[in-house]
Amino acid sequence: MKKLALLATVLLAVPAASALQAQAAPEKHMGPRNIVETAVAAGQFKTLAAALQAADLITTLQGKGPFTVFAPTDAAFAKLPAGTVDGLLKDKPKLTSILTYHVVAGVLTAADLQARADKDGYVTLTTVQGSTLRIHLAGSAVHVGDKFANVTGADVKASNGIIHVIDAVLLPSM
């Protein structure tokens, strides 16, 4: 349990709501840090960072990209049943599948998602993992995936893509 709390504290904690909002200010260019550096600097993605490291995905998400990442916070990982994170950290193929399910190739801002939405407010994307991910835009709310994770911070710019902060871990069909 201490391991889970420590991991959760490392990657997804966002006391940086103000820092994220500052970075999310509309700009024509991407931020100065890559996706991993931006997430770590936010302070609310410690579990995500630890998971990315365990899955050997740090280098990939520091690469050229561009990527759109739906990043679960530490609080999102803490919602998983006890022992889940520890189990995933020991199962690299499953962990990699889950993490890459949170990533889409290219940069998709909130405005891009809105523009792609069908008449019912749905957007279907293909993740780096290979599965489809449905986004539902309902008024000012944005829900991601079948379990409807909420987007709590949008358009956090990085040098190689964009981050949308979510409040739940997305699980692909396995």
Instruction: Tell me whether residue 91 is in a domain.
Output: yes
Q: What is the pLDDT of residue 174?
A: 61
Q: Tell me the CATH number at 45.
A: 2.30.180.10
How many domains does the structure of the chain reveal? Answer: 1
Residue 15 has pLDDT above 70, yes or no: no
Spatial strand order in the sheet of 161-166: 103-105, 67-72, 161-166, 149-158, 141-144, 132-138, 122-126
Q: Evaluate whether residue 137 is within a structural domain.
A: no
Whether the per-residue pLDDT at 4 is higher than 70: the answer is: no
Is residue 140 included in any domain, yes or no? no
Determine which of 16-25, 78-87, 148-157 has the lowest per-residue pLDDT on average. Answer: 16-25
Let me know if residue 37 belongs to a domain.
yes
Most confident region among 8-12, 18-22, 113-117 by mean pLDDT: 113-117
Residue 78: inside a domain: yes
Helix (H, G, I), strand (E, B) or coil at 164: strand
User: Which residues 6+ apart lie within 8 Å of 62 measured at CB?
Assistant: 34, 35, 36, 37, 160
Q: Residue 150: what are its φ and ψ, rounded to 5°?
A: -95, 140
**Is 55 domain-assigned?**
yes
Domain enclosing residue 159, as ranges: 2-107+151-166
- pLDDT, tens digit, for every residue of 77-120? 999 999 999 999 999 999 999 999 999 999 999 999 999 999 99
Tell whether 9 is covered by a domain. Answer: yes
Indicate the helix (H) or strand (E) that contains 152: strand 149-158
Mean pLDDT of the chain: 83
> Span 36-56, mean pLDDT?
94
- In a domain, residue 99? The reply is yes
Residue 103 tokens, joined: 């990533």
